[in-house]
Amino acid sequence: MFNFSSDMQSSPKYSPASLIRFAQALMEKAGLPPDKARVVAETLVEADLMGHSTHGLELLPAYLTSLEKGEMEKSGDPDLLNDSGAAFTWDGRYLPGPWLVHKAIDQALDRIEKYPAVTAAIRCSHHIGCLAAYPERATKRGLLMLLSCSDPRNATVAPFGGVDGVYSPNPIAAGIPTGKEPIIIDISASTTANGLVARTRKEGGQLPHPWLMDKTGKLTAEPSAMFADPPATILPLGGLDAGYKGFALGLLVEALTSGLAGYGRADQPEKWGASVFLQVINPEAFGGKAALKRQMDFLVEKSLASGLKPGGEPVRLPGYRALRMREEQRKNGVQLYPTIEPALRRVGERYGVGFPEGGE
């Protein structure tokens, strides 16, 4: 997540609508139909609104490259592989990931009144962006959502005790309704994400902590180590002390995504993509929506009332900062991470699409 520093306060701000129009126009120029381009654009901008800047518009140039090379499918629908009503499995055919996930959520919400829970597995999706951008579609209806993904082509995270990359950072997201703001969880089963390592390397900086391990077992905060030969790997969540927990979570994600979808690392795919797990749960089929909110509201109140360590910051529930940042930026405009605007201007010039002026 990107925290705005004091020197960013005077940087340009852009209306979310203008950024969505810009991103949609570029993807349409690259051959994506308007309906799919619109969903992808909205999802990327939603990530920037929430402060997840490595998974917002920063991804747009890479998405455009995938479209240009034919590695992101432009038209058609996913192939239905299995459907039992309460569960369905798609082959996404490398269609745009955000569009596939929203389409799967549409299906789940249509079916949730009939089933206590609806579960979807998608194989061969293209990259799905920021997971935190999705769960509110469920929480606004008093429903729980679980969402996770893995990239079967990517192997940058080492198992606990190992030095060789085996799996991807494997994020896990959830949306939990409460009596007020929802709890939005979006965490990786690794100490950091590929996007942050790549961005830090490009800027010539150092990671905040020694989150990488080279082949000799030495820890480093040098991002270029992950691009060396042989490459360093990302530590599982918990690092050297408790990384067995992150490793376990990483394996769970692999089972829920590629395992349930029936396609993944064992097939050695060559395209950048994702295996996706999605589940929407209706509390009314269990203890009831009111009971769920009562329990969660109790936990929220107790957490926020917790005593603090000397000099510590107040307790913040998962997703609260992102939701407040989104509210602020919707009102006053989006501030993009400094390296994003120049990259967007370059691809805009290449496609003949003008980048919006600040304040638009």
Asked if residue 106 belongs to a domain, the reply is yes
Asked if residue 357 belongs to a domain, the reply is no
- At residue 1, the pLDDT reads 43
The pTM of the full predicted model, rounded to 2 decimals, is 0.95
Whole-angstrom distance, CA of residue 92 vs CA of residue 123 = 6
Q: How many domains does the chain have?
A: 1
Asked if residue 263 belongs to a domain, the reply is yes
Asked if residue 253 belongs to a domain, the reply is yes
CATH code, domain with 265: 3.30.1370.60
Asked if residue 224 belongs to a domain, the reply is no
- At residue 2, the pLDDT reads 43
- At residue 360, the pLDDT reads 53
- At residue 312, the pLDDT reads 85
Asked if residue 327 belongs to a domain, the reply is no
- At residue 359, the pLDDT reads 59
- At residue 358, the pLDDT reads 74
106: its two tokens: 């549409």
Q: Of 166, 147, 153, which Cα lies nearest the Cα of 101?
A: 147
- At residue 329, the pLDDT reads 97
Asked if residue 175 belongs to a domain, the reply is yes
Q: Which domain holds residue 132?
A: 76-191+235-319
CB atoms within 10 A of CB 169: 27
Asked if residue 116 belongs to a domain, the reply is yes
pLDDT in tens, the chain (360 residues): 444 444 455 679 999 999 999 999 999 999 999 999 999 999 999 999 999 999 999 999 999 999 999 999 999 999 999 999 999 999 999 999 999 999 999 999 999 999 999 999 999 999 999 999 999 999 999 999 999 999 999 999 999 999 999 999 999 999 999 999 999 999 999 999 999 999 999 999 999 999 999 999 999 999 999 999 999 999 999 999 999 999 999 999 999 999 999 999 999 999 999 999 999 999 999 999 999 999 999 999 999 999 988 888 899 999 999 999 999 999 999 999 999 999 999 999 999 999 998 755
SS (H, E, C) the chain: CCCCCHHHCCCCCECHHHHHHHHHHHHHHCCCCHHHHHHHHHHHHHHHHCCCHHHCHHHHHHHHHHHHHCCCCCCCCCEEEEECCCEEEEECCCCCHHHHHHHHHHHHHHHCCCCCEEEEEEEEECCCCCHHHCCHHHHCCCCEEEEEEECCCCCCECCCCCCCCCECCCEEEEEECCCCCCEEEEEECECCCHHHHHHHHHHCCCCCCCCEECCCCCEECCHHHHHCCCCCEECECCHHHHHHHHHHHHHHHHHHHHHHHCCCHHHCCCCCCEEEEEEEECHHHCCCHHHHHHHHHHHHHHHHCCCCCCCCCCCCCCCHHHHHHHHHHHHHCECCCCCHHHHHHHHHHHHCCCCCCCCC
